[in-house]
Amino acid sequence: MNWHKIRRPYGTRNFIRHRFAADWTPCGVGNRNGRKQLLLEPIGIVAADAPGLMPDSLTEVWLGVDVYSTIMAYRTDRFDDAAAPKSWADFWNVEKFPGRRSLRKNPIDTLEQALLADGVPLDKLYPLDIERAYASLEKIKPHVDVWWTGGAQSSQLIQSGEVDMIALWNARAQAVIDGGAPVKIGWNQGLYSIEGWGIPKGSPRADIARQFVKFCTDPKQQALFTEFLAYGPTNLKAYEHIPAERASSLPTFEANLKQMSIASEDWWSANRSEMTERFNAWILG
């Protein structure tokens, strides 16, 4: 989230938006609470108002409404299920799992994947061991055929068969699957994040915005959202209203969620600039 866009109207009282969407993981409590900047209004919702909300999707000033994840996907016409890559160690194992590969041209998630490939447990990733991550990346770098830079590109790569396996966002992969491509998602060792709503401090329409945010807690409304985009609801009671086939394709479906972990907003907030500079230099090296 670009906090400067929120600071400016707060200082001038010239509001462009009366609510905004922001992408934070559960680890980013400092940002989501908005206390350092004093930029967010209380949303007026407590846990009892929305039974079924998953942990860390609600604070005094922020409501998480959907979950997306970074996962591995592979072509089923290249690998049958028994012989398919099931982990980032498998993705890195070019002898056992030959094929064209693609990773995101960005340190976010890619550093974590490198560490997971090198044996770091999913729940022990942070703080990231940067030297270990780059040692792991050096092993896979000669075998990465495409470093993708946008979601549409990642979809096209796996849909067309230009690559056989890829790290990408789950909704991008699911759209390809829904379109009929022979692709499967592997949820194991995925990293998920929560998107949600906040209200700029001092908004003259804060009360109306609060009504909207509360509306977004409704499990039926969250269920409707999944018809159009394969993001998981944060109110898990929404699964009572989602067809089983669709439910199993979503990140917060129980069987999928338990295979993943949270990407640390706190760590990336503190290190993103430095990590991006180093990663870009490494790619060119």
Asked if 174 and 154 touch (Cβ cutoff 8 Å), the reply is no
Reduced to 3 states (helix: H, G, I; strand: E, B; else coil), residue 71 is: strand
Q: How confident is the model at residue 135 (pLDDT cuts 50, 70, 90)?
A: very high
Q: What is the pLDDT of residues 157-188, one digit of tens each?
A: 999 999 999 999 999 999 999 999 999 999 99
**How does the average pLDDT of the chain come out, rounded?**
89
Cα 10 off chain centre by: 29
Q: What is the pLDDT of residue 33?
A: 53
13 vs 219, residue with greater confidence? 219
Residue 20 has pLDDT above 90, yes or no: no
The DSSP symbol for 58 reads B
What would the pLDDT profile of 258-275 be if each residue is shown by its tens digit? 999 999 988 999 999 999
Select from 147, 174, 178 the least CA-distant residue to 73.
174
pLDDT recorded at residue 39: 83
∠ CA 184-76-157, rounded to 5°: 75
With CA atoms as reference, report the closest residue to 196 among 32, 8, 52, 49.
Answer: 32
